[in-house]
Structure 1
């Protein structure tokens, strides 16, 4: 006989490195850790043969792989941008890198975007980690405020830069995408902040995952566009514009899959005792 405990509710503390599941909230049983959430590990000899069978979590694994790759690409491109800005400030900008000149002409705006992006990239995975939240909740709250401030700075500066930086590669597709997803990121951050102020932790984390995915989508864009550039020896505005939209949409799709997967009931098959 098997007992289906998918409908049971517990008050859980930590569920692996799930970016959605929250602490001290009643929620459906999840098996992400291999143990029943919120319950101490069973060490009694009479129960040593009980086995909780669970499905593997490839979705969450691929989520973190994607986060790592996109984050690395963000750090690399930000470093390259700082180097090109330094060259442009010294008057040694090559003709093919004239895109860096507006960053020097609007230096404060560029620094808000780039420095904020670096902090965003470093803090993002730590904010999503359940283990970090469980061990250092106070640090999570304070660094979360820094994260939101930097993310808002990225979103607002990105929208403004989209207007004041002339002749950016990507054409109208880039222009409309930067506006749409920049505003969407700001809205997600506001909704996430309002949710946590109202103690709606699950909603808060879902909106923060979406906001983070939009920002991380810039790294995904590079993972799409740079290989095309290297393969074909160059890309046109249409390819860049489509690559930018694809980067945002793919990353958001991954975030939604993680959010929905975390909310889905997980049935446990527990062998009957006796």
Structure 2
């Protein structure tokens, strides 16, 4: 959680600044006259910062055990942030596209769609008090919630280890193309494997 905090603070500050100030001369994300595109990207950042910070907090057993009302309240805020992050990101992709072109558009759009879907499912099973199903969807949401942080961590490790091998400024390198999906799908697959093994042990 502490490792994510600097990233969350930076994203929150950037998102808030973009919603309250004119950053047209400071970042390529701002497009003249495109108010919906501009708002969507900064809402995405602000909501995403809260999402990445709150998701690990929800996993602490002592919070659920000792402060269940707080767990539910922060959970509702988490779901709202996840849906806002997903919708705002999808709007931005649809209106302007990503810096990496079609391949990145596809990978990031799938990421946003999955985040919104998983958030709805986690909330739905929480309301239904189906704790086991809620737990599984909440874990999936956790993986997706920290995806933006994982994206940056994986790039950092790759550049340190390989000096940027197979990565280009326009994100068309082999590693870039892998990373369009590789910052969340492998982790989701690993989680599904763990959940599958847990379920098998519980049946025997």
Q: Which residue of 1 aligns with 2:54?
A: 123
**Cα RMSD after superposing both structures:** 3.2
Shift of 1:207: 0.8
Answering whether residue 77 of structure 2 is matched by residue 146 of structure 1, we say: yes
1:91 deviation in Å?
Answer: 5.1
Greater strand proportion = 1
The residue that corresponds to 2:128 in the other structure is 198
Q: Do the aligned residues in 2 keep the contact of 1:195 with 1:201 (CA within 8 Å)?
A: yes
Q: Name segments (4+ residues, structure 1) moved above 6 Å.
A: none
Give structure 1 stretches of 5+ with no counterpart. Answer: 1-66, 267-274
Q: 1:161 to 1:101 in 2, by over 3 A?
A: same
Shift of 1:108: 2.9
Q: How does 1:180-219 map to 2 (within 5 A)?
A: 180-219=110-149
> After alignment, is 253-262 or 117-126 more displaced?
253-262
Query: With structure 1 as the length reference, what TM-score do the two structures score?
Result: 0.60
Q: Name the residue aligned to 1:253.
A: 189
Alignment size in residue pairs: 193
Distance 1:202 1:164, change over 3 A: same
Preserved contact between residue 171 and residue 241 of structure 1 (Cα < 8 Å): no
User: Which string of whole-angstrom CA distances, capped at 9 and with x for unpartnered residues, describes residues 208-242 of structure 1?
Assistant: 21122123122111122244457239624223332
Deviates more, 1:224-233 or 1:123-132: 224-233
Deviation at 1:175, TM superposition (A): 0.7
Q: Which has the higher contact order (CA 8 A, sep 6+)?
A: 1
Unpaired runs of 5+ residues, structure 2, are none
Between Structure 1 and Structure 2, whose CA radius of gyration is higher? Answer: 1
SS in 1 for 2:99: coil
Considering fraction of residues, name the structure with more helix.
2
Of 158, 174, 180 in structure 2, the residue corresponding to residue 244 of structure 1 is: 180
2:22 paired residue number: 89
Compute the TM-score of the two structures, normalised by the length of structure 2: 0.77
Question: Are the aligned partners of 1:217 and 1:251 in contact in 2 as well (CA < 8 Å)?
Answer: no
TM superposition shift of 1:182: 1.4
The 1:138/1:171 distance shift into structure 2, 3 A limit, reads same
Find the counterpart in structure 1 of residue 90 from structure 2. 159
Contact 1:109 1:161 in 2 (8 A): yes
When residues 78 and 258 of structure 1 are mapped into structure 2, their CA distance, relative to the original with a 3 A threshold, is farther
| Residue 24 of structure 2 is aligned to residue 101 of structure 1 | no
